Chain A
Amino acid sequence: MKMPQGVILFPSIHFALRAEKMVKEKGISYKLIPVPRHLSSDCGVCLRIPWEKKEEVLEILVQAGVKVDSAHPLSDG
């Protein structure tokens, strides 16, 4: 069964790319994807991660001072 996924949204691509760097270093699987339309009308990218890693990832980002807008589960993985 496919693991439930979720996304973390950022104020701008700078923070999305910083986040990418940090999760990569931790060996967490991720992908930068366009922000799903139903979550925001912003035209940038967000970070998709396994939803079970949400708390761990947010903790890493907060520690590193990466600005986060919000986090959302994705219903369709």
Chain B
Amino acid sequence: MSEKIIYFDNAATSFPKPEEVARAMVHFSREIGASPGRSGHRLAIEAGRIVFEAREGIARLFGVKDSSRVVFGLNATEGINQGLKGLLRTGDHVITSSMEHNSVMRPLRAMMKEGLEVTILNCSPEGFLDPSDVKRAVRPNTRMVVLNHASNVVGTIQPLPEIGEVCRRQEVLFFVDAAQSAGALPIDMEEEKIDLLAFTGHKALFGPQGTGGLVLGERVDEKELVPVKRGGTGSRSEQEEQPDFLPDLCESGTPNAVGLAGLLAGLEFVMKVGIGKIRHHEKRLTEKLLQGLLKIEGVTVYGPGTAEKQLATVSFNLKGILPSEVGLRLDEDFGILCRVGLHCAPAAHRTLKTFPEGTVRFGLSYLNREVEVEEALQAVGRIARRGA
């Protein structure tokens, strides 16, 4: 068993985190601790400030002026559920792609049974959705297009501005799942004509697990938004009905304030380094990994195959060896931690023709180094040469 670890599972959860993240969470646990937005004492206010600053930070990151339209929850999945179930009604039509994660597919499949019409558009073998296909699929009752910004399996970056333009012209809401891309790619909701954006804190924003949510653009009318959960908000306590204003409308129960303290520190790290610099480094690592993999005999790389068009998430297979076996050898013999299989995205694997075995996925982050890519390439080469 190898002692040294190379962590290439950042597309699931980024690790390690910047030191500031742990420090902020320890500080919250030791010095603040209280319930944000409940009670009026100094620690409750201080906890409230942390949540507020995290909200302001998220709003700034995505170019949103009014931070009350940032709704926190556990992760992108919760944000997606709130956005879909909160706005779509029986008889509405939704367009999505064949590259979606189950966080989108499963709520949609369940809603189809209740009368929602869903069109799943096929993507190219590299995972790209054609904006003209979106335009053609729009019907009179189309309410929304929901789309993964970047694939969690192969990192394919969708042409958001073009699809956003189609949605705006057709007066359809554009809902983007930015689970993989938030923190790794620049996102401006206004510029890219995004109406709803689900994000998570525990990947490229370097926050802890249990932080994420939904950002609502100006075109989403909160009066039409039905909260998925209802309960205590610390506001309008005299009423037994849910407040009708954001963010309280969609935020019930004590929030994960210690987690949001960590997310705030992660956000500050991302802002300090700058997404441009993060992207530059990740592209360099990705290109090195892609080029190196292609030189190994028996390797098939899936997805765009060029760093320009994808995130630092690379999927591949070795001829004659199951992905699960490759993953086990990488972990046990080389200390390389990655994720194999279907990555909660069976539709994406069908598109890539890698269903049902799946792929080996290397998910890199800004904190990975070139030497780790070199070592991983050597390890894959050795496993490939050894064969099944």
CA distance A13 to B236 in the complex (A): 11
Cβ contact of A18, chosen from B40, B52, B248, cutoff 8 A: B52
CA distance A63 to B297 in the complex (A): 64
- A11–B248 touching, CB < 8 Å: yes
| Nearest-neighbor residue (CB-CB) of A13 within chain B | B37
Interface residues of A in 11-25 (CB under 8 A from B): 11-18
Q: Does A73 contact B (CB under 8 A)?
A: no
- B67–A12 touching, CB < 8 Å: no
Question: Interface size of A by Cβ–Cβ distance < 8 Å?
Answer: 20
- B39–A41 touching, CB < 8 Å: no
- B237–A43 touching, CB < 8 Å: yes
| Nearest-neighbor residue (CB-CB) of A32 within chain B | B45
- B237–A13 touching, CB < 8 Å: no
| Nearest-neighbor residue (CB-CB) of A46 within chain B | B40
Q: Does B48 contact A (CB under 8 A)?
A: yes
CA distance A10 to B384 in the complex (A): 64
| Nearest-neighbor residue (CB-CB) of B47 within chain A | A13
- A34–B37 touching, CB < 8 Å: no
- A42–B248 touching, CB < 8 Å: no
Residues of chain A contacted by B236 (CB below 8 angstroms) = 11-12, 42
The contact sample of 30 A-B pairs, CB cut-off 8 A, is A11-B235, A11-B236, A11-B243, A12-B233, A12-B234, A12-B236, A12-B245, A12-B247, A12-B248, A13-B36, A13-B45, A13-B48, A14-B67, A14-B68, A16-B48, A17-B52, A18-B52, A33-B40, A35-B40, A40-B238, A41-B237, A41-B238, A42-B235, A42-B238, A43-B40, A43-B234, A43-B237, A44-B234, A44-B235, A45-B45
Q: Interface of B with A (CB < 8 Å)?
A: 36-41, 44-45, 48-49, 52, 55, 66-68, 233-238, 243, 245, 247-248
* Known A12-B233, A17-B48; further 5 A-B contacts with Cβ < 8 A: A12-B236, A13-B36, A13-B37, A13-B52, A67-B68
